[in-house]
Amino acid sequence: MTSGFEAAGYRVVQAIESCPHAAATYAQNHPDVDVVLGDIRKMDAALTAARVGLDRHELDILLAGPPCQGFSESNKRTRTLLNPANGLYQEFLRFLGVLNPSWFLFENVPGLLTLSEGSVLKAIQCAAKELGYESEWRVVNALNYGVPQNRRRVFLVGNRTGTPISFPEPTHGTTDTARAVTVGEAIRDLPVLENGASTDRRPFRKPLDTSNEYLARVRDLRGEDDLVSGNLVTHNSEKVVLRYKHVGQGQNWTQIPRHLMDNYHDLSRCHTGVYYRLRWDEPAKVLGNFRKNMLIHPEQDRGLSIREAARLQSFSDSYVFTGSIGFQQQQVADSVPPLLALTVALEIRRHDISFDGAMDGR
């Protein structure tokens, strides 16, 4: 979210994060932002904002992306209102009431609309209205804004200024727009890798194709010796690699012989993204938990590298992820695609009368 809003001209001044690994990655890539590490439920909103000299009414926009796992429709175990993480939206509302920004943006998975008949979303809108905010929501798909991934998310936008709230019109993937960006356009220039690859920086597989608009946006042309980072791949067992070999592009776990899936007690619970091999000529399926989804490279019998996944999320190659490979994978999977965030940020800025146009919106 920060990458997109900064690209739109906003100056992000503070971020709150409970995971130390995600906070470390964030701090490395956004050194000018005050990163507050800890549980937001234990923070005083006014004192936290005072760290960066923010007083009431001084904030242009408050961004919120609370944990989505408890709302996700793929979560069959803890998708209930009793999940403690599903109450964290109340912390967003607490900060909203104290800081009183001109605008807010709340992002989550579409399951927010269906859990308990959308009661959480309704509660957020009602509470925001009591604080003086009118709000609108929409389900947006990242592929419609140039991201090479079929990723649907709910964006709830509100303001207390009385100005219009609108959402950007699709630029890709419809009959009236440019076609969607494909997996091939996004990652085909990246190195050929082996199962369990552990060398972080490697040469590009192909030189930059200047006609590829997506690569022109994400490929880091300042890299030393034409190297790219993030070439780390989970080391899968021989049995898992054998499963990969049975799956063609656009196919999934259903192509794997049942005797190779004997550790799955209930195959009916496997959704279509499990052991799905990406197609070069289409956008990717949604990136989720690497260990559960196990997306397969289009032509190599392995999972995705960190950089390949980051490309499918529209991160620039200059964005570096830190920590062990598992933590890096989770950081990429949990992210809002920067290109989607940029598109939404520009639409908000178009109506944001508090934005002074001098690259100093906060």
How is 116-151 classified by DSSP, letter by letter? Answer: GGGHHHHHHHHHHHHTT-EEEEEEEEGGGGT-SB--
Domain tally for the chain? 2
pLDDT one digit per residue (tens) for the chain, 362 residues: 999 999 999 999 999 999 999 999 999 999 999 999 999 999 999 999 999 998 877 899 999 988 755 444 454 454 454 455 567 889 999 999 999 999 999 999 888 887 667 788 999 999 999 999 999 999 999 999 999 999 999 999 999 999 999 999 999 999 999 999 999 999 999 999 999 999 999 999 998 888 999 999 999 766 556 899 999 999 999 999 999 999 999 999 999 999 999 888 777 778 888 999 999 999 999 998 887 778 999 999 999 999 999 999 999 999 999 999 999 999 999 999 999 999 999 999 998 866 655 445 67
The rounded distance, in Å, linking the Cα atoms of 307 and 313 is: 10
**In terms of domains, do 13 and 117 share one?**
yes
Domain that holds residue 207: 183-317
Domain CATH for 283: 3.90.120.10
Residue 96 lies inside a defined structural domain of this protein:
yes
Q: Are residues 19 and 154 in the same domain?
A: yes
Query: Bridge-partner residues for 203, per DSSP?
Result: 227
Residues 65, 360: Cα–Cα separation, whole Å: 22
Shortest CA distance to 308 belongs to which of 255, 244, 234?
A: 234
- Same domain (yes/no): 115, 192: no
Query: Is 357 part of any domain?
Result: no
Same domain, 153 and 203: no
pLDDT for 221 equals 67
Whether residue 164 sits in one domain with residue 22? yes
- Report in angstroms the alpha-carbon separations of 78 from 35, 74, 81, 117, 322: 29, 10, 9, 16, 29
What CATH number is attached to the domain comprising 150? 3.40.50.150
19 tagged catalytic:
no
Quick one: which H or E segment has residue 34?
A: strand 34-37
Which pLDDT score, from 0 to 100, does residue 295 have? Answer: 96
What global pTM score does this model have? 0.91
Tell me what pLDDT residue 359 has: 47
Residue-level pLDDT at 98: 95
**Overall residue count recorded for the chain in this entry:** 362
Distance (Å, whole) CA 170 – CA 141: 9
153 and 282 both lie in a single domain: no
Structure token digits, residue 239: 């049995």
Residues 324 and 25: beta-carbon distance below 8 Å: no
My answer on whether 79 and 212 are in the same domain is no
Domain assignment present for residue 331? The answer is no
Catalytic residue among 19, 68, 126, 270: 68
Whether residues 274 and 233 fall in one domain: yes
- Residue 190 shares a structural domain with residue 151: no
| Sequence-distant (≥ 6) Cβ neighbours of residue 279 within 8 angstroms | 182, 183, 249, 250, 298
- pLDDT at residue 259, as a whole number: 92
361 in a domain, yes or no?
A: no
pLDDT of 75 reads 45
* Residues 160, 100 contacting (CB under 8 angstroms): yes
Backbone φ and ψ of 98, nearest 5°: -80, -45
